[in-house]
Amino acid sequence: MLFFHSKTAAFSLQLPLKRPYLYTQKQNYVDVYMKWKKDRFFDSIEHIHRSIELKRIISLKNCFTEDPNGCIPISAVSKRGLEFDIPIKVARFLRQYPSIFEEFTGPEHNLPWFRLTPEAIEIDREEKRVYEECRVDLRERLKRFILMSKGKVLPLKIIQGMQWYLGLPAGFLQNPEVNLDGSFRVVEMEDGLKCLAVEGKGIVFSVIQRNSLKKGVYSGLSMEEAIPFPLFPSKGLRLKTKIENWLNEFQKLPYVSPYEDYSNLDPNSDLAEKRVVGFLHELLCLFVEHSAERKRLLCLKKYFGLPQKVHKAFERHPLMFYLSMKNKTCTAILKEAYCDKLSIGRHPLLRVRKKYISLIKESEVILKSRRINNRSVNQITVGKDLDSDFESDSVNEEGRIEMAECS
């Protein structure tokens, strides 16, 4: 039975099976402008804001590790800048990181060659050990990612686009016999698009549901239970009264797991909004840095049933997400991962990435030292030139004086 009410633009469904979408679905959100508030804490997390830079470095690093000699001429990678998303010449990029890439003269024609430094080789070995020891964890993250999609199937190109965020190695999907188990299968869509499907068995709990079970605020027996999202206000951030009132009611709505069927949700209702926010929370929980460039997530709309303006969800929930504008891009950060570190499991690859970042910072110190030394050498050279000019001027002047006396 359907009941419509014109003033609230709401409708109710009365059916035997009680699921969240069978209750009143309405939209009460008040679109009030909220001024963006800068948060220095989230803007200072290095492994988030150096992630793009690090991705380029590791892509190049893999070229060296794949070579049997461990070293390559610059000609082998000089024209692959677009592939690695490097905005400058590859040779110049490599020279920016002397603590990772070591330059030397090649065996022929005096061409520049590069190899990894001993420190970079050691971190690369550790990275490979992590991939080997944590293969099950990485596989589980990929499985959860696919289980949230429509039909539990995703195109390989979408998965490859999210590989860096999920922490999967470059050749993870190229070796399915080793990296994937029997629950995965490669399928082909009608348009010839290759996809990876997962067979979902049993109930899959999200991070929010698991944490609520531990705290005893969620039983897991009923799908109509309201689980409030964990909120972490930034210093100096105050919500307008209308938005705060809406948020209080929003928190009381039934929690819609991102692993549940959402086909019966009204896309314009607050309940659908809660499902979208829950999906974004779970997605960032799976990522290495619990963050991502916002524009990179837009390609997921079609496959995860997200609204056209899904990016607005980050703006409407500033107590859950922080939008950083550093590095001329917009990065969405899950606040809970950094304000309550025990609630979300740490990605096994994060420690390795932090070690690479320490080498990046070491490179900056080396380059700064070189600039200072070059400046000192230039000053000494200029000083010597001035002295020699002064001496020659003195000699010329004395010569002229002597000639004047003789005359």
**Average pLDDT of 344-352?**
95
Compare 400 and 100 and report the one with higher pLDDT.
100
Task: Kindly list the distances between the CA atom of residue 139 and the CA atoms of 183, 219, 333, in Å, as whole numbers in the listed order.
Answer: 10, 28, 23
Please tell me whether residue 92 adopts helix, strand or coil conformation.
helix
Compare 4 and 79 and report the one with higher pLDDT.
79
- 146: phi then psi, degrees, rounded to nearest 5: -75, -35
Compare 145 and 386 and report the one with higher pLDDT.
145
Alpha helices in 79-133 (DSSP H): 90-95, 118-133
Cβ neighbours of residue 46 closer than 8 Å, sequence gap 6 or more: 357
What is the C-alpha separation between 267 and 118, in angstroms, rounded?
54
**Residue 387 reports pLDDT greater than 80:** no
The dihedral over CA atoms of 401, 403, 406, 407, expressed in degrees to the nearest 10, equals -110
**Residue 55 reports pLDDT greater than 50:** yes
Cβ neighbours of residue 21 closer than 8 Å, sequence gap 6 or more: 13, 256, 262, 264, 265, 266, 271
**Residue 30 reports pLDDT greater than 80:** no
Query: Tokens representing 176?
Result: 């399915």
Least confident of 139-143, 165-169, 241-245: 241-245
Where residue 263 falls among pLDDT bands split at 50, 70, 90? Answer: confident
According to the model, what pLDDT value does residue 137 have? Answer: 96
What is the C-alpha separation between 382 and 327, in angstroms, rounded?
38
According to the model, what pLDDT value does residue 5 have? Answer: 38
**Average pLDDT of 52-64?**
96
**Average pLDDT of 244-272?**
90
- Tell me how far the alpha carbon of residue 14 is from its chain's centroid: 43
**Residue 145 reports pLDDT greater than 60:** yes
Angle CA 198–204–210, to nearest 5: 145
What is the C-alpha separation between 290 and 346, in angstroms, rounded?
9
Least confident of 34-38, 160-164, 234-238, 288-292: 34-38
**Residue 349 reports pLDDT greater than 60:** yes
Which range, 4-13, 57-66, 102-111, is most confident?
Answer: 57-66
Q: What is the pTM of this model?
A: 0.85
According to the model, what pLDDT value does residue 93 have? Answer: 97
Query: Tokens representing 122?
Result: 């050691």
Closest to 250 measured CA to CA, from 239, 234, 262, 263: 239
Tens digit of pLDDT for each residue in 298-326? Answer: 999 999 999 998 998 999 899 999 999 99
Count Cβ atoms within 10 A of the Cβ of residue 341 and give its class: 0-12 exposed, 13-18 middle, 19 or more buried.
Answer: exposed
What is the C-alpha separation between 103 and 112, in angstroms, rounded?
7
**Average pLDDT of 352-369?**
96
Q: Can you tell me which residue has the tokens 């099950």?
A: 136
According to the model, what pLDDT value does residue 13 have? Answer: 34
Query: Tokens representing 240?
Result: 């307008």
**Residue 260 reports pLDDT greater than 50:** yes
Compare 8 and 84 and report the one with higher pLDDT.
84
Least confident of 132-146, 162-176, 357-371, 386-400: 386-400
According to the model, what pLDDT value does residue 157 have? Answer: 94
Residue type, 335: K
Please state, rounded to an integer, the average pLDDT across all residues of the chain: 85
Q: How many residues does the chain have?
A: 407
Contact of 324 with 330, CB cutoff 8 Å: yes
Which range, 7-16, 141-150, 178-187, 211-220, is most confident?
Answer: 141-150
- Tell me how far the alpha carbon of residue 78 is from its chain's centroid: 26
The percent of residues in the chain predicted with pLDDT above 90, rounded, is 62
> How many other β-carbons are positioned within 10 Å of the β-carbon of residue 366?
12
Buried b (16+ CB within 10 A) or exposed e, 82-104: eebebeeebeebbbebbbbbbee
According to the model, what pLDDT value does residue 379 have? Answer: 63
Cβ neighbours of residue 155 closer than 8 Å, sequence gap 6 or more: 189, 193, 194, 195, 303
According to the model, what pLDDT value does residue 15 have? Answer: 34
**Average pLDDT of 172-179?**
88
According to the model, what pLDDT value does residue 2 have? Answer: 36
What is the C-alpha separation between 87 and 81, in angstroms, rounded?
7
What is the C-alpha separation between 201 and 36, in angstroms, rounded?
42
According to the model, what pLDDT value does residue 404 have? Answer: 43
Tens digit of pLDDT for each residue in 9-22? Answer: 333 333 333 455 45
